[in-house]
Amino acid sequence: MGMLAERYPEDKERGNAMGIALGGLALGVLIGPPFGGIMYEFVGKSAPFLILSALALADGVLQLLMLQPGVVRQESDPPSLKSLVTDPYIIIAAGAITFANLGIAMLEPSLPIWMMDTMEADRWQQGVTFLPASISYLIGTNLFGPLGHRMGRWLAAFFGLIIIGICLMLIPMATHVNHLIVPNAGLGFAIGMVDSSMMPELGYLVDIRHSAVYGSVYAIGDVAFCLGFAIDLPLDNNTQLEVVLYVLVEEEVQVNISNEEYLNVS
């Protein structure tokens, strides 16, 4: 993301480029469960790991040949990490990324277990249930790269967090695998709204409030994204799943309140 922010200094072009890049993230993060479930069920437990290791090696070779990484000296001094983490706008943007991805991070380990207990779902069904989220995330990131710039990225993230909260409330109400299609699709689309809006916004905030050196701020963005997947709670039964999802909805509301305050300030 830091490389894209430097390559595309104009805000609109940067948003478009990051939307496309986040579409690649969709294929990596959200298509993993259906890929793993199908490969485990019909090919074998070692097959997904062998395929992914070959793809990772090929990707590394392509990056080495195409990007030709090297050390480039920056003319301006980078902003200090302390100044970035104490910037309230950057913290709100990073918090939106964390809580947007926290829902899907909780669902990936817990939803398959819940589906086995309540729906007696097969392994391939447990994986495929995340496919609507991956497809809609791909659509959302590519759509709200340019659209977020037009309507306002804080506003796009605001509505995205609201949709995430609604979808998280609908998931525990499902009694059949088909009932998960719509809320999972809405969840993926809304996460795409937030990610494709807040990632370019981090670069824009550094441009207008600090100096145009992007490594540290996108390190914060990556930490915010990873933090959503790092936070884990013990989910063993249906009641715990419902409680955790409703707690997440309350946290989405708190982030939205902060977003609204900064929208009013802006």
pLDDT band at 141 (very low <50, low <70, confident <90, very high): confident
- Ranges 66-75, 107-116, 121-130: which has the least confidence: 66-75
User: Which of 77 and 165 is assigned the larger pLDDT?
Assistant: 165
Among residues 187, 185, 182, 181, the alpha carbon closest in space to that of 168 is found at 187
Which of the listed ranges 97-101, 186-190, 211-215, 257-261 does the model predict with the highest average pLDDT?
A: 186-190
DSSP secondary structure code for residue 173 in this structure: G
pLDDT 10s digits, 80-102: 888 888 889 999 999 898 888 88
Using DSSP's 3-state secondary structure scheme, residue 216 falls into helix
Tell me the per-residue pLDDT of 202-222, one tens digit each, with 9 for 90 and over.
Answer: 888 888 888 877 888 888 888
Q: What percent of the chain is modeled with pLDDT above 70? A: 81
d(CA 104, CA 187): 8
Please give the domain boundaries of the chain with CATH numbers for all domains.
18-265 (1.20.1250.20)
pLDDT for the residue numbered 183? 92
- Looking at residue 29, what is its pLDDT? 65
pLDDT score of 238: 44
Is residue 233 very low, low, confident or very high in pLDDT (cuts 50, 70, 90)? low
Rounded to whole angstroms, what are the CA distances from 228 to 23, 53, 131?
Answer: 18, 25, 20
Q: Which of 227-235's residues contact partners 24+ apart within 8 Å by CB, and which partners? A: 227/98, 228/97, 228/98, 228/99, 228/100, 228/101, 228/102, 228/105, 229/101, 229/105, 231/102, 231/105, 232/105, 232/106, 232/109, 233/106, 235/106, 235/109, 235/110, 235/113, 235/114
What is the rounded distance in angstroms from the CA atom of residue 138 to the CA atom of residue 175?
A: 27
Q: What is the pLDDT of residue 236?
A: 41
pLDDT of residue 41: 73
Question: What is the value of pTM for the model shown?
Answer: 0.76
Length of the chain: 266
CA dist., res. 214 & res. 206, Å (int): 7
Nearest one of 143, 147, 191 to 167, comparing CA atoms:
191
Give the whole-angstrom CA distance, residue 266 versus residue 264: 5
Tokens 């708190």 -> residue: 254
Residue 35 has pLDDT above 80, yes or no: no
- Residues 8-27 have pLDDT tens digits of 888 888 888 888 887 777 66
For the stretch 77-81, contacts whose Cβ atoms lie closer than 8 Å and that sit 24 or more positions apart, written own/partner, are: 77/211, 77/213, 78/211, 78/213, 78/215, 78/216, 79/206, 79/210, 79/211, 79/213, 79/216, 79/217, 80/216, 81/216
